[in-house]
Amino acid sequence: MKPRRLLALVAALLLPVTAAQAAPPDDTTIDLPAGFAGEGITIGAGNTFYAGSLADGRIAIGDLAGGTSEVWVDDPAIAPAVGLDADLANGLLWVAGGPSGQAAAYDLDTGDAVATLTLTTTEGAFVNDVVATRDAAYFTNSAAPELYRVPVSGGEVGEPETIPLSGPAGDYVEGFNLNGITATADGSTLVAVNSTTGQLFTIDPDTGDSALIDLGGDTVVTGDGIALQGRWLYVLQNGTAPDVDNQVAVIRLSGDLSSGDLRSTVTSPLFETATTLDLRGNLIAAVNAQFAGSPIDPEAEVVLLRTN
């Protein structure tokens, strides 16, 4: 492991107890660099976050506490940049490439491209989101009932494989299907959302077999980015369907992940079609994609708010 990477991991572990870490503000925005069309976000070590641009695939690096961002990758390996995940264990930033059918991995120390991967060549594909576990990265395709697994070990990226989905997550419907994806802490179970139906699923990362998470009649239609903290699941509903608010649904999952209880919703007047999110403690960092316009602030931006 590189010395800088080791220091970053130590800093992240010490975050709750070090006086040097300023608490990020909430109910505010952080502007992304000029020309960015925001969509994906992930939090790395300390207060560092990364956000991608749908416009050109560039990646920004920012400071949650300082309220700043700047271009980090200005010559991207793929475009656009959709979902992102910071893989601290392997020192990589994973990026989903949307309609390109591609994915990329960047070195978290340098921003250099480590791998450019073709996940699918099917016309109309949309590689939407990604989650990293200890030994692989998993990507969703919103236009096909399949996942893509990219093995990784010690920062070395392997060849991608396609995992066909079976069970309810494999029931394709017209529109955007699987979108946001996350994983349990041990990586043994994936959780994903279908944007069109608002259903949530658990998925076996080895077989692609899936099961519906019973929400007791509730749904999270337009569910986009999702994040899991223990048994608390956060689903950002981007509000692009009629009568659906732009909000974060907060769901308490059962111990076996077979069911969930929609406990509350969190929103902000600063949301302008927010799409993806990540968490640091009770701080939510969400990106405004501004698909419905930007009446509040014309700049591409990250919104910060608290879960409670």
Residue-wise pLDDT for 43-77, tens only, equals 999 999 999 999 999 999 999 999 999 999 999 99
pLDDT band at 26 (very low <50, low <70, confident <90, very high): confident
Quote the CA–CA distance of 236 and 265 in Å, as a whole number: 9
Please tell me the least confidently modeled range out of 41-45, 167-171, 304-308: 304-308
pLDDT of residue 25: 77
- Which class would CATH give 3-12+30-306? mainly beta
- Please determine, for residue 224, whether its predicted confidence score (pLDDT) is greater than 80: yes
Where do the domains of the chain lie? Answer: 3-12+30-306
State how far the Cα of 58 lies from the Cα of 298, in Å rounded to an integer.
19
Give this prediction's pTM: 0.92
- Reading the block at residue 129, the tokens are 């989101």
Report how far residue 56's alpha carbon sits from residue 263's, in angstroms, rounded to the nearest whole number: 38
Name every residue whose Cβ is closer than 8 Å to that of residue 193 and which is 6 or more positions away in sequence: 178, 179, 180, 181, 199, 200, 201, 220, 223, 224, 226, 235
pLDDT at 16: 42
Q: What would the pLDDT profile of 257-275 be if each residue is shown by its tens digit?
A: 999 999 999 999 999 999 9
Identity of residue 273: T
Cα–Cα distances (Å) from 221 to 86, 178, 225, 228, 270, in that order, read: 26, 12, 12, 18, 21
Selection from 164, 162, 196, 163 nearest residue 179 by Cα = 196
- In the numeric block, which tokens belong to residue 239? 């509000």
